[in-house]
């Protein structure tokens, strides 16, 4: 298994499609634009990467699978995973959000960040007996999620982010507008708090990709 390294983009020749990363050992490694896994990599960006043999220079090293990283308040690298569940609109705020977080060597944690003003809209809303409730499986999920039809997103002053430590950096599991929600009742980590939360909350229907053949009005949990 190849070790993921950390570094910083110290030279970037955009018009020529390549640049250099300086790693933690102060070694300078060439990279090519096509090896970047996301588009927001710029001069000065912290990144993670895998070291490999250069395709053009025999015996030389080259950086591959280059991923943009963000630095936490306590200096930890935080990166997006390839199949992240970061909600639309939050990506542009990740750098500012991560700066406010102290990871404190925790292996897995949820952080809710509150702002003094509304910053977005939450698709997780409180519901009542008059709402049109259905249940369906979200793409890539094992169990049923509670949804509400015919409701609009609600203004929120919060962003929630879930981080997991991987090697010596942190991976973003998800990030979304709104206050932290309990895990869904079908999740193996669910407890009484999960049941109570999802009795009174639901996601907006069509806010997430779902398996339409799974839609039901019967509560499955």
195 and 89 in a common domain: yes
3-state secondary structure of 3: coil
- Report the domain count for the chain: 2
Is residue 15 included in any domain, yes or no?
yes
Is residue 55 included in any domain, yes or no?
yes
Provide the pLDDT for residue 46.
96
105 and 205 in a common domain: yes
48 and 86 in a common domain: no
158 and 82 in a common domain: yes
Provide the pLDDT for residue 38.
78
Domain CATH number, residue 15: 2.40.50.140
Rounded distance between C-alpha atoms, residue 112 and residue 122, angstroms: 13
Closest CA to 33 of 10, 54, 16: 16
98-111 per-position pLDDT tens digit? 999 999 999 999 99
195 and 95 in a common domain: yes
Provide the pLDDT for residue 52.
87
Last residue of a domain, one of 25, 49, 71: 71
pTM assigned to the model: 0.81
Question: Which of the 8 DSSP states describes residue 214?
Answer: G
**φ/ψ of residue 213, rounded to 5:** -75, -10
133 and 48 in a common domain: no
Q: Which residues of the chain have pLDDT under 50?
A: none
Q: Over the Cα atoms of the chain, what is R_g?
A: 21
Is residue 82 included in any domain, yes or no?
yes
Rounded distance between C-alpha atoms, residue 203 and residue 133, angstroms: 10
Provide the pLDDT for residue 57.
66
Task: Give the tokens for residue 42.
Answer: 């710029």
203 and 99 in a common domain: yes
Provide the pLDDT for residue 114.
95
Give the full edge-to-edge strand order of the sheet including 124-126.
124-126, 201-204, 144-149, 132-137
92 and 49 in a common domain: no
Provide the pLDDT for residue 82.
61
The boundaries of the domain holding residue 159 are 77-214
137 and 100 in a common domain: yes
Is residue 219 included in any domain, yes or no?
no
Q: Are 221 and 197 contacting, i.e. CB atoms less than 8 angstroms apart?
A: no
185 and 111 in a common domain: yes
Last residue of a domain, one of 30, 46, 71: 71
Last residue of a domain, one of 19, 40, 71: 71
Rounded distance between C-alpha atoms, residue 179 and residue 182, angstroms: 10
141 and 103 in a common domain: yes
């Amino acid at each position: 298994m190849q070790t993921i390294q950390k570094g910083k983009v110290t030279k970037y020749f955009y018009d020529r499609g390549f640049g250099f990363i300086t790693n933690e050992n102060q070694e300078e490694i060439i990279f090519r634009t096509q090896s970047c896994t996301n588009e927001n990599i710029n001069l000065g960006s912290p990144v993670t990467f895998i070291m490999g043999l250069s395709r053009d220079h025999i015996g030389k090293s080259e950086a591959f699978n280059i991923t943009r990283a963000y630095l936490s308040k306590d200096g930890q690298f935080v990166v997006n995973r390839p199949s992240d569940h970061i909600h639309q609109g939050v990506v542009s705020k990740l750098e500012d959000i991560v700066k406010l977080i102290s990871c404190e060597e925790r292996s897995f944690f949820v952080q809710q960040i509150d702002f003094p003003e509304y910053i977005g809209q939450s698709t997780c809303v409180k519901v009542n007996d008059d709402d049109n409730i259905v249940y369906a499986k979200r793409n890539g999920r094992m169990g049923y999620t509670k949804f509400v039809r015919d409701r609009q997103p609600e203004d929120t002053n919060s962003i929630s982010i879930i981080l997991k430590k991987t090697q010596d950096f942190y991976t973003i599991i998800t990030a979304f507008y709104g206050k932290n929600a309990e895990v869904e009742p079908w999740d193996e980590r669910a407890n009484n708090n999960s049941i109570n939360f999802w009795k009174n909350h639901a996601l907006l229907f069509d806010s997430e990709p779902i398996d339409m053949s799974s839609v039901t009005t019967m509560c499955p949990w």
